[in-house]
Structure formats: C-alpha cells, structure tokens
Amino acid sequence: QDAAAGASTLYAPQYAVGGNLIRTSLSVVNLDDAPGTVTFELVGDDGRNIGNVRQLSLAGKGKLHITDPKFFLDPGDSLIDGYVRITSSGPRLAGSVAFGDPGESTFSAALPLVSTLLNDLVYSQFASDDTYFTGLAILNPGETPVRATLELKDRTGAPIASKVENLAARQRKSQLLTEYFPAIAGEKRTGGYFTVSADGGIASFAAFGTRTLSVLCAIPPQRRP
C-alpha cells in the first residue's frame, strides 16, 4: 500500500468473524482535507456479498475503526469469512486490517489494506510441519477471470510443487499450503519460499503461525521483478 498516494478502492483479502477463534478489525484513514463517504462490502469466496453493505461518513483527515463483529451481520457461533472491498466517494484512503483472538490476549497480526493489484509476486518464507502452518489468500477483484500459478521452492530455488488456480470474477481462494498442495501434508517443510503469477491483477496475503494459534504473523507479498 502506498500510504502517501492513497487510493479510492482498498481490499482486505481476508476477513473473519464469529465463533470463538478469531476477530477482525479494519482501520481506514482519509488522506484528504475533504470529507467523504466510505462503502464497505463483505464478499464471499464465490463473489457474492455477505450480510449488509455499509456506508459511513468520514471527515477530512479523519479515521474509521471498525471493531464490531456484527458490522456486516450477526455471525453467531458460526465462522464467517471472506474479503472486504472498501470504496470511497472521492477522497484518497489508506488503512489496515488486524486479526486476533476475541479476548485480545493470545495472538494478533496486522497488514496494510491492498491498494495496488499485482500479477507477479513472491513470499520470501513458508513453513509447514507439525508445529507451523502457512496459509495463502488469492483474490481476483476484477470482472474477468484470472489464471494464477502457484509455485513452491526450497531454499536453493529448486521446485517443490506447482499448480494453477482459476479464479472467476470477484472470486477468492483462501487455504493452507497443504490444501493447495496435498502432497506436502505430513512433510516437514521449512526454509523455502513461494511465488504467485497471474494473467490479471490480484490481491493477496499470507499467514504464518503455530497450529495452536499461540503465534500468528501476517505476511504481505513483494512484487517480483
């Protein structure tokens, strides 16, 4: 995210509420002097809206901090997850998304909201074993299908596995690496990295943590030259 430039549309590739495992909060800042209206949409993996579309006023140079788990809908005891599309009526926006346990006592991680779509990106680490997991969310926010290629590599750059994911318009995929690549399930994989290349713009981020959720780190992608 270019916080100096801002953007009129931002994305949170992952948003989850409900149950007793995780909460998500959103922070959005107006970089301009003029006030505006900000629209929030929670969208499911299938590209359809979940719950209510919300519109909030935002003062010039002001900030919105969304912490209410019922902001879009009342999830009850069910885990509801998807992605959030945030659009401005005009002012330039910047912001972040944060994840943590509902009691705010065990784990927490945060990422900048996505303002620029990429088509060739790299994540410089991953770990998958009995202790650690790595997850990846890939979002196609556009109106045309996108073909994305995922590649796992070891620390020497040698390929471990690769696969293609086809994402329809507005669709998202969010899974553990062991779900994208079942062949590595049960293996001890540390020290490598992975890449995502697509024939259209995508928003993405990864999460790395312990399977007990005592630790969680959110990882933004880097643009691959």
Q: What does the domain layout of the chain look like in residue ranges?
A: 9-112, 118-223
Q: Tell me the DSSP string of 23-44.
A: EEEEEEEE-SSS-EEEEEEEE-
The predicted pLDDT at position 20 comes to 81
Confidence grade of residue 1 (pLDDT, cut at 50, 70, 90)? low
Q: List the CATH code of the domain at 118-223.
A: 2.60.290.11
Is it true that 9-112 and 118-223 share their CATH fold? Answer: yes
Q: How many CA atoms lie within 13 A of 210 on its CB side?
A: 8
Q: What is the mean pLDDT of residues 91-104?
A: 92
Q: For residue range 127-175, what is the model confidence (pLDDT) as tens digits?
A: 999 999 999 999 999 999 999 999 999 999 999 999 999 999 999 999 9
Is pLDDT of 22 > 90?
Answer: no
**Greater model confidence, 215 or 178:** 178
Confidence grade of residue 225 (pLDDT, cut at 50, 70, 90)? confident
Confidence grade of residue 43 (pLDDT, cut at 50, 70, 90)? very high
Second-level CATH architecture of 9-112: Sandwich (2.60)
In terms of phi and psi (left: phi > 0; alpha: psi -120 to 50; beta: otherwise), the region of 61 is left
Among 128, 135, 122, CA closest to 14 = 135
How many CB atoms neighbour CB 55 within 10 A?
A: 11
Contact 192, 129 (CB under 8 A): no
Confidence grade of residue 2 (pLDDT, cut at 50, 70, 90)? low
Confidence grade of residue 3 (pLDDT, cut at 50, 70, 90)? low
Q: For residue range 59-80, what is the model confidence (pLDDT) as tens digits?
A: 999 999 999 999 999 998 899 9
Q: What is the mean pLDDT of residues 188-197?
A: 95
